[in-house]
Amino acid sequence: MFILDSLLIGSLRFVLDKIAAAAEAESEDGSALREQLLEAQMRLELGELSDVEFAETERGILARLRELRADQPAGLTLQPGMKVTGVEATVADELTGDFAETRK
């Protein structure tokens, strides 16, 4: 009986951890906020929202998007002691689709 209870609790914990991770990832992703903004714009066009209500909604969503962008690291950062030794690039000819020589 103890083994069955442990398995049940373990599997329940696993599922709840996955749900929490998915909810956290969605809250840190701006796509849901952009969808809310698009929905508010559609409601404004349909006359379901007034200009004032839309402005309030838009202000809140844009503020949250700015917070998310401020929390994200900006591009590639070098750690102390690291240095760039070279860059590799490949150039494609747009007309023929041929790939040019790779240079370092």
Q: pLDDT higher for 47 or 86?
A: 47
Tell me how far apart the alpha carbons of residues 54 and 101 are, in angstroms, rounded to a whole number. Answer: 53
Q: What is the DSSP secondary structure assignment for residue 81, as one 8-state letter?
A: T
The yes-or-no verdict on residue 90 having pLDDT over 90 is no
Kindly state the average pLDDT of the residues 50-64. Answer: 93
Paired with 54 in beta bridges are: none
Q: Where are the domains of the chain?
A: 1-104
pLDDT band, very low/low/confident/very high, at 85 (cuts 50, 70, 90): confident
Average pLDDT of the chain is: 79
Tell me how far apart the alpha carbons of residues 68 and 25 are, in angstroms, rounded to a whole number. Answer: 12
Count CB atoms within 10 A of the CB of residue 37. 19
Tell me how far apart the alpha carbons of residues 82 and 97 are, in angstroms, rounded to a whole number. Answer: 36
The yes-or-no verdict on residue 104 having pLDDT over 60 is no
